[in-house]
Amino acid sequence: MPERPEWLKVHVPTPAAAERMRVVRQVLAQHRLRTICQGALCPNAVECWSAGTATFMILGDICTRGCRFCAVKTGSPEGALDRGEPARVGAAVRDLKLQHVVLTSVDRDDLPDGGAAAFVETVLEIKRASPGSVVELLLPDFSGDPRWLLRVMACEADILGHNLETVARLTPALRDRRASYQQSLDVLQFLRTGARGRAIKSGLMLGLGERRSEIREALGDLHEAGTSWVTIGQYLPPTSSSAPLRRYVPPEEFREIEGEAREIGFSWVIAGPLVRSSYHAQVVYGAR
């Protein structure tokens, strides 16, 4: 792997940020919860937690799929469900006074509804415990089943999202065989039909061997599917057995791609080496 450039190095947190991180970890431990910031080894945990944003990973820490870019464990949870988790997430959001909450999950193909009911219940508990908090959903594809997508769309989440992850050519080699490029676009288009004015959001990773023309094509496909917000960040292999990094994309190229995305017609774009799905989520929602 090439040496990590300076622009990708995360700086030591300030004393105030370090204290905020300590408090967040303490509350998460108290409520027996996990965040994707920890599970996916996100480089922005300090910044997001300090800004009152957190991404909770519900439905356990074992994913039924095996995408080659992800750090989350793969296996079969065998239908296990933590019935008390939604209420604990709501309590943690209240205790941490979070302004913006992102809910995501592992894939749960072992459950009849893919985990849709857990998303709905968790949103309900957050809104009950902290009515002023904005709730963003970063959803799995639920195997493209409209029944479960409709169920989630009916809840009171403020933003609906699903990541395309990578370009069409690389999808079969990088994503689990049950997750196709077209299925993700179909999910986003379906979400758009029932959005009721809510933003539809998606994300791409770069540095996996994609070409600029393929990035433009993916962005065009996302926009055509009804996506209005998009995040574009640098892929960083979470483990030595993950898909290999092909290159580090320099900040100036991210700026160019961000400009291209705006020209395509996205209402909000953020692109950069450290950008992840929930990066600056609270800023864009407040400024919309």
Residue 4 placed within a domain: no
> What's the predicted TM-score (pTM) here?
0.91
Residue 3 placed within a domain: no
Domain that holds residue 93: 10-287
How high is the mean pLDDT of the chain?
89
Residues contacting 92, CB < 8 A, separation 6+: 27, 28, 30, 31, 33, 56
What's the pLDDT tens digit per position in 51-69? 567 889 999 999 999 999 9
Q: Where are the beta strands (DSSP E) in 191-288?
A: 199-206, 229-234, 268-272
What's the pLDDT tens digit per position in 144-197? 999 999 999 999 999 999 999 999 999 999 999 999 999 999 999 999 999 999
What's the pLDDT tens digit per position in 125-147? 999 999 999 999 999 999 999 99
Confidence band for 40, pLDDT divided at 50, 70 and 90: very low
- Strands across the sheet with 268-272, in order? 53-58, 100-105, 134-138, 159-161, 199-206, 229-234, 268-272
Residue 74 placed within a domain: yes
Name the domain count of the chain. Answer: 1
Residue 238 placed within a domain: yes
Q: What is the CATH number of the domain that holds 63?
A: 3.20.20.70
Judged against a pLDDT cut of 60, whether residue 245 lies above it is answered with yes
Which of 113, 98, 78 has the alpha carbon at shortest distance from 33?
Answer: 98
What's the pLDDT tens digit per position in 98-115? 989 999 999 999 999 999
